[in-house]
Amino acid sequence: MINKKNILIFILGVIFLIGCSSEKEITTTTPEQIVTASWLIKKLEGNRRKIKTFEGTGTISVKSEGFNGKTSFQILIKKPDSIKISIYGPFGIDIAHGVFSNNNFLFYDVLKNRVYTGTNSKDVLKKLFKIDLSFEELIDAFAGAVNLTAKLRTEPSDYGILDDIYNLTYIDRLRNIKNIYRITKSDLKITDYLVTTLSDSELLSAEYSNFKDYEEVPLPLSLLIRNKSENQSVNIVYRNINVNEEIKSLKIKLPSDVTKIEW
């Protein structure tokens, strides 16, 4: 006959083993909830580099001290160094078309029938688009990407997770700059990017939302970029996006009577 005391000891033993097993499971999975910073940066940069070509249509709003406007646009990007931007007015009226590379640009003002050509520079982009961005920054801005190449061999000054968001901070004391990135833990979407001084005075911020996956890469359909030091903001909202499809030509068809102006 089975002794009641033995049954009690057996039950207590099982409970003890279950408790030990549960405790062990918690302690072994907790550290794995946060991936290493180096892995995260490599993954994010790998996602950015998967996008070789980009085509998008939508609206862009620019606000600055000397300009405030909203228009429809189309952009074609062939990485690493070629973009075409077309600006449209009401009812799809052609306003302007521009082709840019690292070195040169061609900008056709349809309404005035003038074409401007010259060497590409940050000043040229600022005059044409009222945006104070470099050419590389312009490509990443329109493609909804954040270039993390410079961070591949650099450990963050601070790294952690809060409310299922990875937070990475990089401090550059020589330049008096702090870069902060916020990435969702579940699907690695970069939702926020912030540049401040070491005393936390905001210089530049970017917010990305309304994501959609393209070839397993999450891309935002809505982008808001603020340059607080220049009192500027750029708001891009895409209606349609296509990636990694062949872009045969970025040429602009010019009429024979166009006025040519060298910048």
pLDDT for res 230 = 80
The pLDDT of 22-50, averaged and rounded, is: 71
The band of 123, judged by pLDDT with boundaries at 50, 70 and 90, is: confident
Distance in angstroms between the alpha carbons of the first and the last residue of the chain: 103
The answer to whether residue 6 is domain-embedded is: no
Cα 17 from Cα 237, distance rounded (Å) = 56
Percent of the chain with pLDDT over 70: 86
- Residue 106, judged by CB atoms within 10 A of its CB (0-12, 13-18, 19+), counts as buried
List the single range of 62-66, 159-163, 196-200 with lowest mean pLDDT: 62-66
The answer to whether residue 153 is domain-embedded is: yes
If you average pLDDT over each of 19-28, 131-140, 142-151, which comes out highest? 142-151
The domain that holds 162 is classified in CATH as: 2.50.20.10
B/e letters for 171-196, b = 16+ CB within 10 Å, e = fewer, are eeeeeeebbbbbbebeeebbbbbbbb
Separation of CA 164 from chain center:
19
- Residue 103, judged by CB atoms within 10 A of its CB (0-12, 13-18, 19+), counts as exposed
> Does residue 95 have a pLDDT over 60?
yes
> Does residue 54 have a pLDDT over 50?
yes
> Does residue 4 have a pLDDT over 60?
no
The answer to whether residue 21 is domain-embedded is: no
pTM for this entry: 0.81
pLDDT for res 14 = 36
Say which residue, 259 or 227, is predicted with more confidence: 259
Domain count, the chain: 1
> Does residue 23 have a pLDDT over 50?
no
The answer to whether residue 44 is domain-embedded is: yes
The answer to whether residue 225 is domain-embedded is: yes
151: three-class secondary structure by DSSP: helix
The answer to whether residue 7 is domain-embedded is: no
Q: What is the largest CA-CA distance in the chain?
A: 110
The answer to whether residue 5 is domain-embedded is: no
> Does residue 2 have a pLDDT over 90?
no
The answer to whether residue 151 is domain-embedded is: yes
- What is the extent of the structural domain holding 108? 37-262
Say which residue, 12 or 259, is predicted with more confidence: 259
The band of 31, judged by pLDDT with boundaries at 50, 70 and 90, is: very low
Inter-CA distances, 39 with 29, 34, 44, Å: 18, 10, 9
The band of 33, judged by pLDDT with boundaries at 50, 70 and 90, is: low
> Does residue 259 have a pLDDT over 80?
yes
The band of 263, judged by pLDDT with boundaries at 50, 70 and 90, is: confident
Percent of the chain with pLDDT over 90: 65
Cα 263 from Cα 28, distance rounded (Å) = 63
68 forms bridges with which residues in the sheet? Answer: 63
The band of 177, judged by pLDDT with boundaries at 50, 70 and 90, is: very high
Closest among 73, 43, 6 to 184, alpha carbons compared: 43
